[in-house]
């Protein structure tokens, strides 16, 4: 089996010498099969193992000197970062003309090669793009959100979600360059740059550089539309603004946790609207509550650059008319809908006036739509994923409903005009599923006694949703049995966590291990689940399952069948007509 696979690859790549080169062949970034928007910027890097001299190493693009093709001169660094390799760099390159480009790197008799596709876009079809990310939003989240917010009778729903009712759909594969399972950095980077990368990386390929900020960069859509087209850009989230998904709009780092650098990158790109949580990385280190390591006060820097700074829903509403807005509504993540509207847990006491994602989207559209050239707005419901990590499905599903409410606003905005592409897509999946209902009235004492499956599941008895699509009660007697396929040791109560977000496991006695959080183990009916994850995993994890994209508006017709996540960038770039000479 193995040899068959190997020979297939060798056959397919017979002309590519790298397929038969010994271990330690040259590595070329961007990698083979990269799709590059014509005119967008990227760094070409070739790593030559064994640290050969410049004279012995040769790089060509379509047989020519790369400097002439890319319009920038090359740098050669023997033993880069003290490593046993030499690095060939052309930073800030771009290729204006579409076509196939073969990059060859040769040293002695060893040759590697990759082929890039530089793509054109044609004329603009859309003026605006609104990209909604349901972080970690899996099929079960979507189905549960529909059950809770629309109701279901005799197998028929009381209605569609706003994200359901869209004309175009595609199945999106999310794997990265390093793994079948991605993270939110790498996956968002694929949407915003069109290049796949590795876990924890944003806007860079994962090369051998020691400094996380030195890896080969690729341009983000926010940078491209600002640089080439003068569009406005909005970045809106319910997580910390420095977190992977919003950071994916502006950041270039191998390590997503470089929050202080990411704030600096936001300042460099200057999206016209930025909203989320995570203020501590904007505060000078001498300010109590700061997480910076320098004395830079980024709230002041943004204010000095013409931004209106807001920290509450009331201030956001009053900012109507501002040209640029920075909204930081929490020191951590913005609280989710279940806590803000119903349970009043999490940070709601400390931050009682946080906006809803719908408030944020409404304010963003008001500001961004003032630009006659158009805008790109990214909106993330980020805690769908956070709560899925903490095995707290009710909070995840309430934030899925919140996302859908925000999508409804964007659809209404787009409906009155035929110039806005709206995309709703998760960045990756979680291993979650609906397997039935837990019914307190079923006989028996154990949690599994309470689980109704097939015909016994019936329908849950959540009250009808309120005007915002939320049932006002989640601790009902017949609840969804929403299960997690991968977990650490934890105690499963089969009930919602009314006292605050679930913390399934805590650090254990042995280094880098986790044990069940005992506080849930005494709940009547709770069952102790032996983890099926590696011991160092303290919470639920992502899965490599495909995710579902829906879209509407000009350009959306390009979504069909199964696509790689990088295609989302290409569809956005094509809809906006971003390649040079495309008529703008």
Instruction: Enumerate binding residues for another protein (CB under 8 A).
Output: 183, 200, 243-244, 255-257, 259, 279-280, 283, 285-293, 299, 311, 328-332, 350-351, 390, 503-512, 514-515, 517, 536, 538-539
Provide the pairing of β-strand 514-516 with 232-240.
unpaired
Q: Which of 552, 482, 559 is nearest to 126 (CA)?
A: 552
Q: Which is nearer to another protein, 60 or 517 (CB)?
A: 517
User: Which residues are 61's β-sheet partners?
Assistant: 64, 103
* Helix/strand/coil for 471: coil
Q: What letter does residue 332 receive in the DSSP assignment?
A: S
Query: Any idea what DSSP says for residue 354?
Result: P
Comparing CB distances to another protein, the nearer of 288 and 583 is: 288
Q: Are 250 and 77 a contacting pair, CB within 8 Å? A: no
Considering the complex, state which of residue 136 and residue 194 has its C-beta at the smaller distance from another protein.
Answer: 136
84 vs 295 by CB, closer to another protein: 295
For the CB of residue 29, give the shortest distance to another protein in the complex, in Å. 21
Contacts for 132 with CB less than 8 Å, ≥ 6 apart: 163, 379, 380, 381, 403, 406, 407, 410, 422, 423, 424, 425
Buried b / exposed e across 444-463, counting CB within 10 Å, b at 16+?
eeebeebbbeeeebeebebe
- Cα gap 413→401, rounded to integer Å: 19
* CB of 329 vs another protein, minimal distance in Å: 7
Q: Considering the complex, state which of residue 80 and residue 242 has its C-beta at the smaller distance from another protein.
A: 242
Residues assigned a catalytic role: 184
CA dist., res. 435 & res. 437, Å (int): 7
| Minimum distance of another protein from residue 150's CB (angstroms) | 33
The CB-of-133 to another protein minimum distance in angstroms stands at: 16
Residues 344, 231: Cα–Cα separation, whole Å: 39
CB 90 within 8 A of CB 8: no
Where are any strands of DSSP class E within 94-137?
99-107, 110-119, 128-134
Burial of 122 (0-12, 13-18, 19+ CB in 10 A): exposed
Q: Which residue, 323 or 352, has its beta carbon nearer to another protein?
A: 352
CB-facing half-sphere around the CA of 134: CA atoms within 13 A: 32
Residue 391 or residue 474: which is nearer to another protein going by CB?
391
- Please report which residue ranges of 194-345 form alpha helices under DSSP H: 221-224, 244-247, 259-269, 298-304, 313-318, 337
- Report the helix count and the strand count for the chain, using DSSP H and E: 14, 27
Cis peptide before 30 (omega within 30 of 0): yes
- Give whole-number Cα distances, 474 to 18, 338, 432, 460, 497, in Å: 57, 9, 19, 10, 9
Opening angle at CA 365, ends 361 and 369, nearest 5: 165
Least Å distance between CB 225 and another protein? 27
**Cβ-based nearer residue to another protein, 208 or 285:** 285
Closest separation in Å from C-beta 199 to another protein: 9
In whole angstroms, the minimum distance from the beta carbon of 287 to another protein comes to: 4
Q: Residue 435 or 506: which CB sits closer to another protein? A: 506
Beta strands in 308-361 (DSSP E): 308-310, 325-328
């Amino acid at each position: 089996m193995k040899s068959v696979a190997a020979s297939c690859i060798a056959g397919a790549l017979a002309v590519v010498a790298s397929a038969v080169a010994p271990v330690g062949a040259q590595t070329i970034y961007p990698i083979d099969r990269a799709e590059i928007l014509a005119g967008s910027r990227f760094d070409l890097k070739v790593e030559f193992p064994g640290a050969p001299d410049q004279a012995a190493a040769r790089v060509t693009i379509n047989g020519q000197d790369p400097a002439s093709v890319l319009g920038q001169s090359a740098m050669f660094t023997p033993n880069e970062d003290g490593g046993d390799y030499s690095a060939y760099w052309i930073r800030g390159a771009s290729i204006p003309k579409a076509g196939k480009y073969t990059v060859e790197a040769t040293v002695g008799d060893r040759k590697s090669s990759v082929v890039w596709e530089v793509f054109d876009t044609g004329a603009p079809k859309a003026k605006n793009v609104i990209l909604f990310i349901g972080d970690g939003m899996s099929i079960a989240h979507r189905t549960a959100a529909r059950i809770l917010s629309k109701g279901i009778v005799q197998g028929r729903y009381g209605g569609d979600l706003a994200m359901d009712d869209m004309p175009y759909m595609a199945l999106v594969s999310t794997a990265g360059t390093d793994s079948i399972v991605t993270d939110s950095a790498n996956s968002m980077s694929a949407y915003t740059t069109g290049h796949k990368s590795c876990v924890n990386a944003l806007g860079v390929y994962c090369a051998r550089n020691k400094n996380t900020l030195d890896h080969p960069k690729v341009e983000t859509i926010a940078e491209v539309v600002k640089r080439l087209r003068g569009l406005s850009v909005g970045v809106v989230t319910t997580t910390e603004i420095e977190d992977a998904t919003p950071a994916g709009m502006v950041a270039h780092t191998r390590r997503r946790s470089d929050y202080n650098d990411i704030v600096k990158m936001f300042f460099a790109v200057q999206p016209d609207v930025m909203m989320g949580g995570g203020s501590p990385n904007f505060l000078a280190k001498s300010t109590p509550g700061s997480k910076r390591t320098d004395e830079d006060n980024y709230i002041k820097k943004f204010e000095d650059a013409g931004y209106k700074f807001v920290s509450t829903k009331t201030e956001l509403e009053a900012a109507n008319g501002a040209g640029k807005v920075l909204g930081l509504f929490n020191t951590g993540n913005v609280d989710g809908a279940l806590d803000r509207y119903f349970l009043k847990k999490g940070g709601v006491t400390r931050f009682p006036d946080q906006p809803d994602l719908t408030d944020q989207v409404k304010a963003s559209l008001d500001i961004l739509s003032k630009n006659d050239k158009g805008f790109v707005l990214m909106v993330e419901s980020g805690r769908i994923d956070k709560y899925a990590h903490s095995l707290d499905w009710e909070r995840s599903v309430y934030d899925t409903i919140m996302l859908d409410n925000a999508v409804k606003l964007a659809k209404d905005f787009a409906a009155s005009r035929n110039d806005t592409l709206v995309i709703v897509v998760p960045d990756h999946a979680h291993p979650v599923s609906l397997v039935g209902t837990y019914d307190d009235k079923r006989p028996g004492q154990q949690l599994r006694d309470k689980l109704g499956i097939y015909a016994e599941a019936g329908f849950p008895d959540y009250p009808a949703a309120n005007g915002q699509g939320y049932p006002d009660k989640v601790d009902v007697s017949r609840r969804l049995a929403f299960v997690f396929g991968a977990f650490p040791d934890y105690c499963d109560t089969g009930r919602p966590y009314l006292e605050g977000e679930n913390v399934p496991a805590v650090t254990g006695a042995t280094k880098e291990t986790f044990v069940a959080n005992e506080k849930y183990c005494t709940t009547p009916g709770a069952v102790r689940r032996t983890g099926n994850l590696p011991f160092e995993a303290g919470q639920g994890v992502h899965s490599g399952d495909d995710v579902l994209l829906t879209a509407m508006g000009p350009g959306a017709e390009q979504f069909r069948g199964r696509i790689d996540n990088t295609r989302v960038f290409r569809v956005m770039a094509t809809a906006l007509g971003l390649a040079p000479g495309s008529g703008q």
